[in-house]
Amino acid sequence: MKHTHTNVIRQLAELLNQLNSQQYAQSLCVLNGSSIGQHTRHVIEFYQCLLKGYKSGIVDYDARERNFLLENDLSFTLDTIDEIISSIDAVGDVSVPLLLAVSYEPMQKAYIETSFVRELVYLIEHSIHHYALIRIGLQESFKEVFIPENFGVAYSTIQYRQA
């Protein structure tokens, strides 16, 4: 599972390496005014929340930092991606139980039993969903960027197409 994550995150880094800083941070109409950088920040911060939760025992995606350097500074973002890959690789027991904090009502938090590996599965799907949006932004605004065929495509869809 950790190997799959490394591949998923590296896909993003490889794609981002083709962009310049302006492309990365540019607001795109097709993304409702969001940028490639904003979607990237969102993906990265979910990984950071999970890694923080691995240490504390509680994962709270709603309490993410929202570090704007991640959506504007491409070099900083690529370094952060490398750190996430190293941190995931360093995790020992992926089956460690965790609590997931969720809040759908104001001032009311609920805690749901989960595990590190379960959240990794969620983050694969979450990341690929945002990659699909990034793909749309690139296809519409930066046609010169090479996008791998399966970037932003769910693993189940890839397997279905190959069958």
Q: Which two structure tokens, joined as six digits, stand for 129?
A: 């969903």
Q: 104: burial class by Cβ within 10 Å (0-12, 13-18, 19+)? A: exposed
- Predicted TM-score of the model (pTM): 0.94
Amino acid identity of 73?
D
Sequence-distant (6+) residues with CB within 8 A of 157 are none
Query: Which tens digits make up the pLDDT trace of 84-110?
Result: 999 999 998 999 999 999 998 888 999
Domains in the chain, CATH or no CATH each: 2-156 (1.20.120.450)
Cβ pair 71, 40 in contact under 8 A = yes
Q: Greatest CA separation found in the chain? A: 47
Query: Which tens digits make up the pLDDT trace of 43-79?
Result: 999 999 999 999 999 999 999 999 999 999 999 999 9
